[in-house]
Amino acid sequence: MTAIIRLEDVENKIIEIRKQKVLLDSDVAELYGVETKRVNEAVSNNPDKFPEGYIIDLTNNEWNILKSKFSTSIKGGKTKLPKAFTERGLYMLATIMKSNKATQTTLTIIETFARIKQLSRNIKQLSEIQDDKNKKNLMQKSGEIIAEILGDDLALNETETTIEINFAVLKFKHTVKKKKDN
Return per-residue pLDDT of the chain as tens, 182 residues.
445 566 677 777 888 899 888 999 999 888 888 889 999 999 999 999 999 999 999 999 999 888 887 654 555 555 689 999 998 898 888 888 776 676 777 777 777 777 777 877 877 777 777 777 887 777 777 777 776 665 555 454 444 445 555 554 445 555 555 555 55
> What global pTM score does this model have?
0.57
Predicted confidence at residue 75, as pLDDT, reads: 56
Predicted confidence at residue 58, as pLDDT, reads: 93
18-47 in b/e burial notation, b at 16+ Cβ within 10 A? eeebbbbbbbbbbbbbbebeebbebbeeee
Predicted confidence at residue 134, as pLDDT, reads: 80
d(CA 173, CA 144): 10
- Domain spans in the chain, listed from the N-terminal domain onward: 7-116
d(CA 128, CA 13): 30
Q: Is the distance from CB of 7 to CB of 112 less than 8 angstroms? A: yes
91-118 in b/e burial notation, b at 16+ Cβ within 10 A? ebbbeebeeebbebbbebbeebbebbee
d(CA 166, CA 29): 32
